[in-house]
């Protein structure tokens, strides 16, 4: 095991993160999170990464 001070983001990242397209409804993004037991999704369009949506973003908007 590595010393805590030596652990990098690469060491603990998900190698294949879940993604959603930019036009997916927030409620559908929430369902994806719930079904996969995760709290965030990468938002993509056909060419690039656009950002991250977190479950707290959805809850703050009162969607669920």
Residues 2-51 have pLDDT tens digits of 688 899 999 999 999 999 999 999 999 999 999 999 999 999 998 899 99
pLDDT, tens digit (0-9, with 9 covering 90-100), for 53-62: 999 999 999 9
Residue 29: which residues within 8 A CB-CB, separation 6 or more?
20, 41, 53, 58
Question: In the predicted model, is pLDDT for residue 1 greater than 80?
Answer: no
Beta bridge partners of 44: 21, 49
pLDDT, tens digit (0-9, with 9 covering 90-100), for 14-23: 999 999 999 9
What the block records as the tokens of 51 is 């950002």
């Amino acid at each position: 095991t590595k010393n805590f001070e030596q652990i990098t983001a690469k060491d603990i990242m998900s190698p294949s993160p879940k993604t959603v397209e930019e036009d997916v409804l927030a409620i559908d993004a929430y369902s994806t999170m719930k079904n996969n037991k995760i709290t965030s999704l990468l938002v993509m369009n056909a060419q690039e990464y656009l950002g991250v949506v977190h479950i707290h973003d959805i809850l703050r908007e009162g969607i669920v």
